[in-house]
Amino acid sequence: MLDQGIGARVLRKEDDRHLHGRGQFVGDLAMKGLKEVAFRRSSLAHGRIRAVTKPAGTDSVIITADDLKNVNPIFADSSIPGFKASNYPALATGKVRFVGECLAACIADSRAEAEDLAESVEVDIEELPAVIDSLKARAPDAPLIHDDWADNLFLTTSVQGDIDSLVKTAPIKVTRELRTGRQCMHPMEGKGVLAYWDFQADQLVVYTSTQVPHMIRTGLSETLGLEQRKIRVIPPDVGGGFGYKCVLQPEEIVIAWLAMTTKRPHRWIEDRREHLTAGANSREHHYQITAYADEKGRLLGLDAEITVSVGAYSVWPFTACLEAAQAGGNLPGPYDFQVYRCKTFSVATNKPPFTPYRGVARPGVCFAIELMMDAIAREVGRDPMDVRAENLVKSTQMPYNNVTGKHYDSGDYPASLKQVAGLIDAPGIRARQKAPEADGRLIGVGFSTFTEQSAHGTKVFASWGIPVVPGYEQATVRLTPDGGLEIRAGIHTIGQGLETTLSQVAVHELGIDYDQVRVTLGDTASTPYSTGAYASRGMVMAGGAVSRASQELARRIRRIAAHLLQCKDEDIRFEGREIRAGGASLSFADIGRAWYLRPEQLPEDVNTMGMEVTEGYKPQVDTGVFTYASHAAVVAVDPETGIVEILDYAAVDDCGRMVNPMIVEGQVLGGTVQGVGTALFEESPYDQSGQPLASTLQDYTLPGASDLPWIKLGHIETLSPYSAHGIKGVGEGGAIAPPGAIVNAINDALKARGVEITQIPATPERILSAILAAESQQKGAAS
Amino acid sequence: MKPVPFEYEKPGSLSLAVSQLSATGVNGKIIAGGQSLGPMLNLRLARPEALIDIRQLDELSRVQSDEKTVTYGAAIRHVDFEDGLVEDATQGMMRHVAGGIAHRAVRNRGTIGGSLAHADPAADWVNTTIALNATFTVLGSTGRRTIAAADFFLGAFTTSLNDGEILEKITIPRLSDQAAWGYYKICRKKGEFAEAIGILVVDPARGFARAVLGAADAPPIVLDQLAASIAESGTAKDINLEEAVQAALPDASPVSLRHHSVALQRAIQQVYPS
């Protein structure tokens, strides 16, 4: 089946429409009488609302919080002891808590006119001191963001390891303070939602650009007070999500409410400024971290305090605890050590709420542990690659339970490091470093290795006690009367090519022709419930479900075929895109025809469930299957300008069985480029009053083609013992490693100058500042 | 991100454009390539009552040349320079500069006059025209006048254009074949506006030497004395550039200071390789 099934590089089913510009996104939908909505948003980060006043005559076209009286606020709680949930109203009530929070929805025939209306709303807000810095927000005298809380902490967690014994005995102790910038993830298509009332179905129909359509239905039902059977959520084409589109958004609720109450179609399309200032926020961490090691650099223990600036509200359903829970749990990374103490603070700040972004917390913790690994290596005077390799969990230790109890199922972590070092010719770089570069730049090499918990399921999410816990993923397969195959699954494709890869799984099980398979995803009216596309779970979970359902369909087809061919069930073979026994063969159309059109041909004992199968699936061990990878970067740093050029970059990943290696490579490449953005370019800074300073793509710089080298890829394929076909998730991994690898390379380049970068993005300004500081320190020491 | 309502005019001649602009007074705005104004309109930072589109005017796309100068119409696009579609008066300098402006998509539409009238201190043409000692011709309802490039830029995004005046053409003195130029800009990321620009233009045949420091949140700074002494000695070795730059930019941060020193030093090095 390698030509079309699992393991084949078949072209993507999605690409024909996308490459021809025929995709159908929320912005492409046309509907009679469609109204466009713009939001009047808060211009202050923190304040008490005195009044939001509509100008005369605009009562029916401007909606304020007073109009939404029967709408429940977004409420995302967690069962972790001490967690404080927030009330996140669709339109702000009482207080505003970040710049960009929605105050009023304004309705017109065009977006421009809706924006005119939005300007006309009179807003009177008493400004309160903004809470911006997450460390200051922790202070007992910090202004309170949620008035009924005793402090600004959504949650603190603590893992108590016996660090005290190491403090006295460990020969090497390395302490660093590290920071990661606040980021805004950038799908090409921003958020968009269109809702209308379908009178025939007596249903609210919501087209929304989402990763999680079934959960959105649940969330809308809870906030609008409308039964789920009366809501249909349809995700059209989605132009990227990266996590931004896996939460229920206030604008989604307002548009749905407008359609529900007026029975007329309404739409909101997020623009880039809204996205940058009020939309997806993520990644901002602060680390105070000490590593203990022996004289060779063998890690003995880690003591960390992690502060996450979560923003103003807890998002539904992933809550304000997900980031810190993932950070505290994943900081130990792929390393084998026994003592771990970690305290995490999930701090409310006057910024837009955190949404889970590709890699969730792991780009931060990977950056932190990987910088520590290099710092240890410098401290003991050894090559960071050797120190790293010696600390990695070995293949002989698999499966391995790490210091936080994570169960690493399979793989050879040191092999990935060795392979990636070969791809960038690490020994060659070390030799090159011995002589100065002609252009005066400094060359450095850096590595980063990580594990990526993928498709973590019931047990993990239940331990966080968040509002929706994923269970069995379901999929339906159906043979059509003419021998085609329809797959329906509740997960959604947001660019990752699930229409293609789910088809390949069915092809693998049934031997049916790839072109005969079509896939419908996400529509709550026609697909089984799924919690959706997040946590690198699609291929493992939905792939597993399609595999199961296809296997059952194969059993039923086999029975009918054996009857028609007058043989035993076990003589039936699926091969050559046919159903064969000995020299005789049937087409899939023959089977379809028999079941649907010529039932007199069926055996007496035919399975009356027919040619349509719905099956559920989760892996044997549902705490996640662990993908891992090693990345390597070679950089040139211009010490006079602070500008970094990535000269070479390589990634070697192991995501188990690759269903479509071309798609795996696309995922790794795309993720890596996002990680380059995290490392060098992307940042959403805020001033002390909470004003976002990056409100256009001129200020928020994304990496472009000219900033990247040709990225080299390598693969290892270690099958997971727990998942169908040994598949592990790969959606997020690429984004995790680059900050660690790139900043380690920068620090390697600047080592001789006594400069170490500890904050990302490592902009020219930050690098040059550090160089100038070291220069003036050396001058001071000399004089 | 949609503009406020505005009238759109597409005049058939420059004189009609001038009279339409006068008629709208301060509430009218000229648009050519729209590469800066477009986003400002969408962000509602610019809220004109009328836009007068001059991009299509032949009068503004012409090149006139004589022995000493070449004069470029204000609506000539960056790509026209980049691709050599218009004569280059500057021994390749303008062609080089044009090719480094933002990205190709921007260069396809953006115009030299639009960039100058927008007067972003980090813009390439703003700094280049000063370095080349250009003269601008502007046209208003009361007639034409010429302004030296160095007098045109009053501050960041502020020019000496009066209400109702349109930048018509840019006259560049020719560089002789003895001339040499250096142009170096430091950008946070390729295609972004510069953090620092350093320029040196030396033309012994004309006795011309000029150094420019750009992208300093203020109009470009001309360092003629510095340029003259470098041109005279044929090296910058004896000059403490960092001190000279600090004197020119007393309020700059240490990083900005270093960036400007390095940009200027590298521009000098292009002219006088050490």
Residue at which a domain ends, from A617, A640, A673? A617
Both A604 and A628 in one domain: the answer is no
- Structural domain total, chain A: 3
Question: What are the start-end ranges of the H helices in B135-187?
Answer: 149-152
Task: Kindly indicate the confidence band of residue A371, based on its pLDDT and cuts at 50, 70 and 90.
Answer: very high
- Residue A342 maps to a domain: no
Both A646 and A776 in one domain: the answer is yes
Cα-based angle A130, B256, A693 (whole degrees, multiple of 5): 25
- Residue A291 maps to a domain: no
Which residues from chain B sit within 8 angstroms of residue A765, using beta carbons?
188, 195, 255
Evaluate if residue A430 carries a pLDDT over 50. Answer: yes
User: Of A448, A287, A174, A367, which Cα lies nearest the Cα of A760?
Assistant: A367
- Residue A322 maps to a domain: no
Both A602 and A550 in one domain: the answer is yes
Q: Summarize the confidence of residues A621-648 as an average pLDDT.
A: 96
Could you read off the pLDDT of A324-362 as tens digits, one per residue?
999 999 999 999 999 999 999 999 999 999 999 999 999
User: Of B242, B240, B177, B184, which Cα lies nearest the Cα of B215?
Assistant: B184
Could you read off the pLDDT of B219-255 as tens digits, one per residue?
999 999 999 999 999 888 888 999 999 999 999 999 9
The answer to whether the Cβ–Cβ distance between A764 and B195 falls below 8 Å is yes
How many Cβ atoms are within 10 Å of A666's Cβ, its own excluded? 17
How distant, in Å, are the alpha carbons of A389, A392, A652 from that of A395?
12, 9, 16
pLDDT reported for residue B12: 97
CB proximity A775 to B under 8 Å:
no
Residue at which a domain ends, from A587, A617, A647? A617
pLDDT reported for residue B173: 98
CATH code, domain carrying A214: 3.90.1170.50
pLDDT reported for residue B238: 84
- Let me know: does A742 contact A679? Beta carbons within 8 Å: yes
Q: pLDDT > 90: what percent of chain A?
A: 96
CB proximity B192 to A under 8 Å:
yes
CB proximity B188 to A under 8 Å:
yes
Closest CA in chain B for residue A768: B255
Q: What phi and psi, each to the nearest 5 degrees, are found at residue A192?
A: -155, 145
CB proximity B189 to A under 8 Å:
yes
Q: Which residues pair with A407 in a beta bridge?
A: A401
Which residues from chain B sit within 8 angstroms of residue A111, using beta carbons?
2
User: Of A737, A634, A62, A766, which Cα lies nearest the Cα of A373?
Assistant: A737
- Residue A343 maps to a domain: no
pLDDT reported for residue A558: 97
Q: Summarize the confidence of residues B194-219 as an average pLDDT.
A: 96
The answer to whether the Cβ–Cβ distance between B2 and A273 falls below 8 Å is no
Both A655 and A518 in one domain: the answer is no
pLDDT reported for residue A778: 87
Lowest-pLDDT choice from A34-38, B107-111, B190-194, B253-257: B190-194
Q: β-strand B180-187 against B166-173: which pairing, if any? A: unpaired
What average pLDDT does the structure give for chain A? 96
How distant, in Å, are the alpha carbons of A218, A323, B71 from that of B61?
60, 56, 10
The answer to whether the Cβ–Cβ distance between B2 and A643 falls below 8 Å is no
Which residues from chain A sit within 8 angstroms of residue B5, using beta carbons?
112, 116
Both A445 and A482 in one domain: the answer is no
The answer to whether the Cβ–Cβ distance between B1 and A273 falls below 8 Å is yes
Evaluate if residue A1 carries a pLDDT over 50. Answer: no
- Residue A756 maps to a domain: yes
Both A563 and A599 in one domain: the answer is yes
Could you read off the pLDDT of A478-500 as tens digits, one per residue?
999 999 999 999 999 999 999 99
Which residues from chain A sit within 8 angstroms of residue B188, using beta carbons?
681, 701, 763-765
Evaluate if residue A192 carries a pLDDT over 50. Answer: yes
The answer to whether the Cβ–Cβ distance between A116 and B195 falls below 8 Å is no
- Residue A157 maps to a domain: no
Evaluate if residue A23 carries a pLDDT over 80. Answer: yes
The answer to whether the Cβ–Cβ distance between A704 and B191 falls below 8 Å is yes
Question: What are the start-end ranges of the H helices in chain B?
Answer: 14-24, 37-42, 78-82, 93-99, 104-109, 112-118, 124-131, 149-152, 224-233, 241-248, 254-271
Which residues from chain A sit within 8 angstroms of residue B44, using beta carbons?
115, 119
Q: What phi and psi, each to the nearest 5 degrees, are found at residue A173?
A: -135, 120
The answer to whether the Cβ–Cβ distance between A763 and B188 falls below 8 Å is yes
Both A428 and A521 in one domain: the answer is no
pLDDT reported for residue A783: 65
Could you read off the pLDDT of A439-467 as tens digits, one per residue?
999 999 999 999 999 988 898 899 888 99
- Residue A334 maps to a domain: no
How much is the ipTM here?
0.96
The answer to whether the Cβ–Cβ distance between A272 and B192 falls below 8 Å is no
- Burial environment of residue A604 by CB neighbours within 10 A (0 to 12, 13 to 18, 19 or more): exposed
- Let me know: does A722 contact A300? Beta carbons within 8 Å: no
Task: Kindly indicate the confidence band of residue B34, based on its pLDDT and cuts at 50, 70 and 90.
Answer: very high
The answer to whether the Cβ–Cβ distance between A115 and B191 falls below 8 Å is no
Range of the domain at A413: 350-458+621-782
Both A220 and A124 in one domain: the answer is yes
- Let me know: does A197 contact A231? Beta carbons within 8 Å: no
The DSSP string of A633-648 is: EEEEE-TTT--EEEEE
Residue at which a domain ends, from A591, A617, A643? A617
CB proximity A277 to B under 8 Å:
no
Evaluate if residue A2 carries a pLDDT over 60. Answer: no
Both A443 and A551 in one domain: the answer is no
**Which element (helix H / strand E) includes A88?**
strand A87-88
Both A665 and A770 in one domain: the answer is yes
Task: Kindly indicate the confidence band of residue A280, based on its pLDDT and cuts at 50, 70 and 90.
Answer: confident
pLDDT reported for residue B235: 85
**Domains contained in chain B, CATH given:** 7-52 (3.30.43.10), 60-173 (3.30.465.10), 180-271 (3.30.390.50)
Could you read off the pLDDT of A304-328 as tens digits, one per residue?
999 999 999 999 999 999 999 999 9
Q: What phi and psi, each to the nearest 5 degrees, are found at residue A781?
A: -70, -35
Which residues from chain A sit within 8 angstroms of residue B190, using beta carbons?
704, 706-707
CB proximity A701 to B under 8 Å:
yes
Closest CA in chain A for residue B253: A769
CB proximity B246 to A under 8 Å:
no
How distant, in Å, are the alpha carbons of A281, A284, B39 from that of A184?
5, 10, 20
Work out the angle between the directed axes of helices A322-330 and A362-380 (0-180°, nearest 10): 30
Both A396 and A504 in one domain: the answer is no
- Let me know: does A64 contact A54? Beta carbons within 8 Å: yes
Evaluate if residue A294 carries a pLDDT over 50. Answer: yes
Both A657 and A728 in one domain: the answer is yes
**Which element (helix H / strand E) includes A428?**
helix A426-432
The answer to whether the Cβ–Cβ distance between A640 and B262 falls below 8 Å is yes
Which of residues A1 and A99 earns the better pLDDT score? A99
CATH code, domain carrying A722: 3.30.365.10
CB proximity A109 to B under 8 Å:
no
Nearest-by-Cβ selection for A701 from B4, B44, B188: B188
- Residue A320 maps to a domain: no
| Exposure string over A49-60, b if 16+ CB within 10 A, otherwise e | beebebeeebee
What are the residues whose beta carbons fall under 8 Å from the beta carbon of A515, sequence distance 6 or more? none
